Amino acid sequence: MPRVMPDDPLNELPGYALRRAANAMMAELTARLVPLDLRISDASVLMLIAERTDMTSSDIGKVLDIQRANMVPLLNRLEAAGLIARKPIDRKSQAVVLTPEGRERLADTRAIVTCFEDDLMARIPDEHRPHFLPALRALVGQPVDP
């Protein structure tokens, strides 16, 4: 983890602090997913399509904000690993669905992600926890619960 200098003037910039926090958390989650041979984007796809049978690669890309050029190799990697399959929706669209092996990997993925999320929230002082997600949602323009 990068060392934070106490007199670093950048530490007072919210955007800088948010980027540092995001980088640290993503590095930690990446390391936790290594035993499953998954990347964060892989895990995100598995969790997103878990109970769906109607999501196309385009839908997945929109939800996860992944460009088409990056979706193709991501889905090809998951398909080659036997974790997803493509199922016709109609004559022109295919859904991306979990295979039985994908469902098994999803269970392990959820366990790791749940533990990571619990550990992340434990680092935040109790009095700030109720405001954490609403503040993050506000930054990306999502509706914030009152």
Q: Are 134 and 93 in contact (CB under 8 A)?
A: no
> Which tokens go with 124?
């935040």
Question: How many residues are recorded in the chain?
Answer: 146
Axis-axis angle for helices 40-49, 68-80 (nearest 10):
80
pLDDT (tens digit per residue) in 90-105: 888 999 999 999 999 9
Q: Are 53 and 87 in contact (CB under 8 A)?
A: yes
Going by C-alpha positions, the residue among 45, 61, 65 that lies closest to residue 105 is: 45
pLDDT (tens digit per residue) in 46-78: 999 999 999 999 999 999 999 999 999 999 999
User: Would you say residue 1 has pLDDT above 60?
Assistant: no
* Domains of the chain, earliest start first: 13-117 (1.10.10.10)
The one-letter amino acid code at 132 reads F
pLDDT for res 19 = 94
> What's the predicted TM-score (pTM) here?
0.87
pLDDT for res 146 = 60
List the beta strands (DSSP E) in the chain. 84-88, 94-98
List the beta strands (DSSP E) in 32-108. 84-88, 94-98
Exposed (0-12), middle (13-18) or buried (19+): which is 85, by Cβ within 10 Å? middle
